[in-house]
Amino acid sequence: MIKEAMFYEKIGDDKVHCSLCAHRCKIASGKRGFCGVRENRNGDLYSLIYGTVSSEAIDPVEKKPLYHFFPGSYVYSVGTIGCNFRCKHCQNWSISQVCLEDAYTKDILPEELVERALLSDSKSIAWTYNEPTIWHEYTYESAKLAKEAGLGTIYVTNGYMTPESLKHIAPYLDAANIDIKAFNEKFYHDIASAKLAPVLEASALAKELGIHVEITTLIIPGVNDSLDELRELSKWVYKNLGPDTPLHFTRFHPQYKMQDLSPTPVKTMENACKIATEEGMKYVYMGNVPGSDRNNTFCPNCGKMLILRGYFDVEKYEITPEKTCPACGENIPIAGEYGGSKHLPDDDRF
């Protein structure tokens, strides 16, 4: 669906300046922004994807991954078309990099979206699978309705948003998993066609605005796996987001245009977790390595296992209702209540 865009200004000669994401595109009449889904029509900017859904599923919140936000609950997840990055390793390239006209989608208006989430018995709605920032007109209006209905709201995001757009949605956004893809500008330029600095700025601002933030970094062999770089990343998160911030290191598997690489060695993953812990991070997790203890939550004070996880599901939860360790009383930073164990319906993707 088409809707006039937010966050743009007219700059003469029918050109517009978009300020939704950090690319801050200047777009001539008849052209689209870098995201491919915001089009200038005779000097007015339009979103081409309002309510346009490409993917829909009910996921464990741990799959986002969010380990400290309503653990054990399910989240109604939706994605659209397009992205403001060009990641060569994107696992969802079939929706993020496809032309809108070539994609199979259906329209779900905000009211119906909230109704579907409630009927699914989900605790939250997540805008995920591709970059939610470019869907702002829709996510903003949907998030307002979701909050009125008592649902949590989640962004799974690359963090490439402007301070203006982040501040706009922040009152209605409860949680964000922000992907800091690497801690060097060369990676962002060569692999994602973007810049690192705006991602760091948005991550710090999200924390400041009271959004629950968890950080994910996919470690790619020979690309962003330098131990020095991982240490600098850990130091930055510690200093700017705090030691209680969940930090997820995820194992790379060959995808899209980077299928010539090998999966990340488990030893590299272990070293990354060790480094982050050395730098003071209290909750460091290892993704895509089934069976690792680094998938579980331990008390940073006494070492007691507090949350035992399977591949995604919570198998055991021992944090007290007061959100403390039952063994030593340490405060454990969990946003929301334990969601409990429920049957996960089959994915409804189309």
**Number of residues assigned to the chain:** 350
d(CA 195, CA 181): 10
90 is in an annotated binding site: yes
Comparing C-alpha atoms, which of 313, 286, 311, 312 is closest to residue 298? 286
- 35 token code pair: 């995201």
- Domain assignments of the chain as residue spans, ordered by start: 1-45, 50-315
Residue 21 in 3-state DSSP?
A: strand
Residue 349 has pLDDT above 60, yes or no: no
CB atoms within 10 A of CB 221: 15
Comparing C-alpha atoms, which of 232, 267, 235, 237 is closest to residue 251? 267
Mean pLDDT for the stretch of residues 244-256:
97
87 is in an annotated binding site: yes
Q: Any residues with CB less than 8 A from the CB of 180 and at least 6 apart, and which?
A: 159, 196, 199, 200, 203, 215, 216, 217, 233, 237
194-213 residue pLDDT tens = 999 999 999 999 999 999 99
- Predicted TM-score of the model (pTM): 0.95
Mean pLDDT for the stretch of residues 18-45:
98
- pLDDT bin (cut points 50, 70, 90) of residue 312 is confident
Distance of CA 216 to the CA centre of its chain: 8
Residue 265 has pLDDT above 50, yes or no: yes
Find the DSSP H helices in the chain.
93-96, 110-119, 136-148, 163-169, 185-187, 197-208, 227-240, 266-278
CB atoms within 10 A of CB 300: 18
Cis peptide before 333 (omega within 30 of 0): no
Distances (CA, A) of 226 to 86, 186, 219: 22, 13, 9
pLDDT at 340: 75
CATH T-level fold of 50-315? TIM Barrel (3.20.20)
Q: What distance, in Å, lies between the first and last C-alpha atoms of the chain?
A: 18
- pLDDT bin (cut points 50, 70, 90) of residue 341 is low
Distances (CA, A) of 48 to 105, 140, 164: 12, 15, 21
61-85 residue pLDDT tens = 999 999 999 999 999 999 999 999 9
18 is in an annotated binding site: no
Q: Measured at the alpha carbon of residue 159, what is the angle toward residues 153 and 160, in degrees to the nearest 5?
A: 125
Name which of 98-102, 194-198, 206-210, 270-274 the model is least confident about: 98-102
Strand partners, 15: 12
3-state helix, strand, coil split of the chain in percent (to 5) is 30, 25, 45
Query: Under the phi-then-psi rule, with left for phi > 0, alpha for psi from -120 to 50, and beta for the rest, what region is 72?
Result: left
CA 309, 242, 323, 155 dihedral sign is negative
